[in-house]
Chain A
């Protein structure tokens, strides 16, 4: 298929960016979206133009490195996938495809389609873990954990930290991201011990880093590549309220 690509080009964090248009021909529908961009980049190199910078790594939907706002949707026109899992069969010959970076104050653009998501690391550094050192822990089967609770913790833990929830939220809220970790650990006895401290520390860091508030629009849940439910946000709110009430 032949396509027109409208891609956001921005030299670096401080420069002003703009859309550039490119034509690309003979893309097969079995190609992934990022393979289409690879072909476009080889074409740009041949023309002496710098290729488009975009984040990607595992190309199998788990590392969370790829991003991209495609035709107005985080990770493009399909559900429960990342951009690297999007295939060109979702497009038609002659389509114009608009590609933008994540747009959020919390994720400044580094170059072209790449953004800085270290804010996510900082939120987790504030308390997204169980405070145990290596060694000296009890036998793995010493604590029985209900399968249902454990499975629900796993649902939350599947978050890949890609940032689609923030990018798609009109408030740029990171609540689903924060909720995933808080909820995962709140559901497990290992994590309960410091649950209150964790919820407060992570929320405070999220607020400091310029992410917005949650107004329950549910957009994050729809665009989450792992299909994580906003019910985890409810659990985060409960954890946070209980923790604050105890102060």
Chain B
């Protein structure tokens, strides 16, 4: 039945990666110069991969839509990066990081990939320190650690609340060094419009120069998509405004499978929505849950009084507060994984205990400040507190922060095998763009780990196994090969169609409407009826878009509305696939919560007998239902259990 070959190497889980490397194909230095690799995206995965390919001697072309590779959204990651160093001597190991990640993902990730991730995690920290990343240190001069959700050890390395920034600038430095050396050619303010497949293999991409509007074809012996997640489908999310799912979606339409698109992470600690004009949501790092305690009033009358402004949170005594995470999950307390914390916040707010607009809970530092002093709290979280104060105009040292869950990360993504190759030979997906390591829920500080693992320590090996057989493939002339000419013509036709509609609705108005449909029906809690409604509504909205969208200006110049229209056109298709995937998965797992499938206490209830698989969807045509392929997940090193944080 299945067409999927995940290419998991032989041997025990701890030996697989070594076995793979021992037997994989390699390319000699003279041949590397003859091979071109295209990398789309310059975040942790793309930036690290491109720099590493360049160092190895391949000819690399890199693309990003931003004005500089340093702007990629990895930069916004705040809290930290996990590694199994066990520097604090608190019982950590590669196995435990592997175990926590698989358990955190609600037993829906591929064991072999996660084990490799845990193995290379330590190399990442070494690499970053060698690059001059200024991680937090103790007075003795060695590296400091803190803890994150879903773990009972402190394995998270950090650089204040700006870890993503520092890691990205490390990768950007490595990339800059290769650009200077001439091995990497950088194309900024350039967006990928399509993947080009020749004789069944990925051979290049079509791009649009965002300043001149020029449509251009580029050849590569292999193509890596490191284009991030599709959380912006919801309109409001913690993603950057430009983050989009288009590269992944174009790959899907060229034959790459989309895996588990319904697995979306809703982050529990974001600044709540303030109004209709809001453009994005701001995350408050999970690291705050190390010292912050989450609560709502114990009595509903107090919640009402707070919402109406008659009472302040600081007026309530300890006895009048419900620290609901500590109450429900005594073993992990405020550090339960994100999906669990988000659902618990929604449960309290739905029951009428919310504060602020009713869609908010408190994150309180009172006891931490009493215990540790304001100076230490400032040192640990100063920039986050400052960020909060600027947005909300309240001082979190004096009054508790208000937070609420928001769309943050997509665990689903392009299906890849053990080598990170998609179902199109020669096309790879790395970082958030692929589906592979986080199952149904990602643990905090694991996105940075995965992005850099893929970029520095996985792709530089696995891509050679493919390219070893490509050394006789000459570079193609994109002006002569039919597939490139056709792909380019299709992109131009697509843009012309968008420009020609000149309807009555702005791109943003349609995007916001899509966001509401998704948040209401494909958000934190889902059910059959809602998902069916979503599919219908999205389909209708897509028709509306292609009839009524208005894109002013011209296609051959800088045109921000056209950029947005291109991305939203794809979101309108991807959203439907997400709803379909969520509808078919008749269980609750991680970030995917089906109201029909919960325990009496309201916890997610998996159906291991029927759903221990990766759902990989194959595109079959615009008006045809996609085909589902199942990759069975086998757990050999881990006993599958009910996920328990109590």
Interface residues of A (CB under 8 A from B): 12, 28, 30-32, 34-35, 38-39, 42, 45-46, 48-51, 53, 55-65, 78, 80-81, 85, 87, 89, 110-111, 114, 116-118, 120-121, 124-135, 137-141, 143-147, 150-151, 153-154, 157-158, 160-161, 184-185, 188, 190-191
A132 close to B130 (CB less than 8 A)? yes
Residue B125 CB within 8 A of the other chain: yes
A159 to B224, CA, bound (A): 29
Contacts of A120 in B (CB 8 A): 68
A141-B142, A154-B159 given; A85·B390 CB < 8 A: yes
B126 close to A124 (CB less than 8 A)? no
A sample of 24 cross-chain residue pairs with beta-carbon separation below 8 angstroms, ordered by A number, consists of: A28-B274, A30-B275, A31-B275, A35-B279, A42-B506, A45-B561, A53-B558, A57-B242, A60-B76, A65-B67, A111-B211, A117-B67, A121-B68, A121-B69, A125-B176, A129-B131, A134-B48, A134-B457, A140-B126, A141-B87, A145-B137, A150-B136, A184-B132, A190-B129
Interface residues of B in 371-399 (CB under 8 A from A): 386-387, 390-391, 393
Contacts of A121 in B (CB 8 A): 68-70, 176, 179, 186, 188
**Most chain A CB neighbours (cut-off 10 Å) among B139, B188, B277, B456:** B277
A173 to B114, CA, bound (A): 47
A120 to B561, CA, bound (A): 27
A64 to B278, CA, bound (A): 20
A81 to B73, CA, bound (A): 18
Contacts of A116 in B (CB 8 A): 67
A30 to B143, CA, bound (A): 39
Residue of B nearest to A188 (CB): B132
Interface residues of B in 112-158 (CB under 8 A from A): 123, 125-132, 134-143
Q: A129's contact among B126, B160, B177, B241, by CB below 8 Å, is which?
A: B177
Contacts of B66 in A (CB 8 A): 57, 63, 65
Residue of B nearest to A78 (CB): B390
Residue B352 CB within 8 A of the other chain: no
Q: B453 CB to closest chain A CB, in angstroms?
A: 12
B131 close to A130 (CB less than 8 A)? yes
Interface on chain A toward B: helix, strand, loop, or mixed SS? loop
**Most chain A CB neighbours (cut-off 10 Å) among B164, B165, B166, B238:** B165
The stretch of B361-369, B441-449, B549-557 in contact with A is B549-557
A12-B558, A125-B179 given; A130·B162 CB < 8 A: no
Residue B23 CB within 8 A of the other chain: no
Contacts of B552 in A (CB 8 A): 45, 48-51
A114 to B506, CA, bound (A): 22
Contacts of B48 in A (CB 8 A): 134
B279 close to A32 (CB less than 8 A)? yes
| Number of A-B contacts defined by CB within 8 Å | 217
Residue of A nearest to B124 (CB): A140
Residue of A nearest to B74 (CB): A63
A38-B277, A147-B137 given; A129·B176 CB < 8 A: yes
A65 close to B55 (CB less than 8 A)? no
B560 close to A53 (CB less than 8 A)? yes
Q: B131's contact among A48, A150, A190, by CB below 8 Å, is which?
A: A190
Contacts of B553 in A (CB 8 A): 50
Q: A57's contact among B71, B129, B142, B186, by CB below 8 Å, is which?
A: B71
Interface residues of B in 159-217 (CB under 8 A from A): 159-160, 162, 164-166, 169, 172-174, 176-177, 179-180, 186, 188, 211
Contacts of B70 in A (CB 8 A): 64, 121, 161
A30-B275, A45-B561, A139-B126 given; A58·B134 CB < 8 A: no
Q: A62 CB to closest chain B CB, in angstroms?
A: 5
A42 to B85, CA, bound (A): 51
A21 to B508, CA, bound (A): 23
A57 close to B141 (CB less than 8 A)? no
Contacts of A81 in B (CB 8 A): 390
A184 to B131, CA, bound (A): 11
A202 to B507, CA, bound (A): 42
Q: B432 CB to closest chain A CB, in angstroms?
A: 15
Residue B240 CB within 8 A of the other chain: yes
